[in-house]
Amino acid sequence: MGNQVKTTILLAVLTAFILWVGQFLGGRQGMVVALILAAGMNFVGYWFSDKIVLRMYGATEITSDRSPELFAMVEALARRAELPMPKLYLIPQETPNAFATGRDPGHAVVAVTEGLLNMMEKEEVMGVLAHELSHIKNRDILIGSIAATLAGAIMLLANMARWAAFFGGSRGNDDEGGGSGVFGLIIMSILSPIAAVLIQMAISRSREYLADSSAAKITGDPKGLAGALEKLGSYSAKIPLHASPSTAHMFTVNPLSGQGLMGLFSTHPPLEERIRRLLGSGGSSGMVPNRQAKSGNDFWDRLSRG
C-alpha cells in the first residue's frame, strides 16, 4: 500500500474518530463542533504543524555560522539523499533524540536534542540524521505532523469529556443520538488518547523500518545508526524526554518508552528488531550503550561557543 494511501486512511480514521467523540459528547451539535474542529486542525496541521511542534519543544534554529560542522554534515547527507537542505533546529533537552517535520521536502525541518549532539559519536549522529532525512524523502513528515495535530485535537476532546463528567454529564439527548452519563464520559476521557495512539501505530511502525533501511543506504554504513539506536534506547530509559504522547511517533526512538501506561503503546517497532534488520543478523550491534562520545565529537560545545 502506497504512502499516500496510508496517509489518506490515517487522516480519515483520525477525523472520523474526532467526529465520533463529538457525537458522543453532544449529539448532533457536538458532531458539528467536532467536524469544524477536525477541518480546522487539518488546515492548521498542513500549513503550521511544523511551527507548532517546534514551539512545543522550545526549539531554536541552527545556522551554518552557529554550527558549521553539523550544518556541513546535513548538507552532505541531503545531497546523497537528493533532497534540498532542510532547516535545522536544536531542542534544549538532555535526552538524545531527533525528529523531522514539515509539509514537503522543500519545507522540511530536522530537529535534534542537545543530548544527541553531546552523547553520540559522529557516525551515530550521521545515522540519526540520515534516518530523519529518509522520513523526508519517503514523504512521512506530513503524515506525522498532521497526525500529531489531530491526536492533539483528540486529547483536547478527552479533556472536554473530563470537564463534562465533572459538571454532571453530557447535554446531548437520545433523540440526537448523543449524550452519556458521567461514567461514560470518564471512560471516554481515558480511552480516547489511547485510541489515538493505536491509530497512529497502525501506520507509523512500518515507516520506521523503511527509514532505517534508507538511512543505511544514504550513509553507506548501517552500524552508525544501529549503534545510535542502542544508545538512544538506553538513554531514553535513564533520562526521560518531556514529550507529548501526540508527538511521540515523530521521534527517531519512542521518547515515552517505559514511562507509564503510554509506554505500552509504542508507535515504534522494538529497537532490537530494528538493529537486527540493520545489521542483517540476530546479534547486537556490539556497542556499549553507556559509552560517552569522544570530546572531539561534542558538537554542542562548539555550538555553544558559536
Segment 203-259, tens digit of pLDDT: 667 789 989 999 999 999 999 999 999 999 999 888 888 887 778 888 999 887 655
Distance of CA 176 to CAs 78, 165, 171, Å?
54, 19, 10
- 208 is annotated as an active-site residue: no
Would you say 28 and 123 are in contact if contact means Cβ atoms under 8 Å apart?
no
Do the strands 98-101 and 109-113 form a parallel or antiparallel pair, or are they unpaired?
antiparallel
**Catalytic residue of the set 132, 176, 208, 230:** 132
Distance of CA 78 to CAs 14, 84, 228, Å?
32, 6, 19
Could you report the per-residue pLDDT of 225-237, keeping only the tens digit for each?
999 999 999 998 8
- Segment 70-96 shows an average pLDDT of 96
266-301 as b/e: b if 16+ CB within 10 A: bbbbebeebbbbbbeeeeebebebeeebeeebbbbe
What is the pTM for the complete model shown? 0.74
Could you report the per-residue pLDDT of 124-178, keeping only the tens digit for each?
999 999 999 999 998 888 776 667 667 777 777 777 777 766 666 554 444 444 5
Task: Check residues 41 and 230 and name the one with the higher pLDDT.
Answer: 230
Pairwise CA distance, residues 301 & 306, whole Å: 9
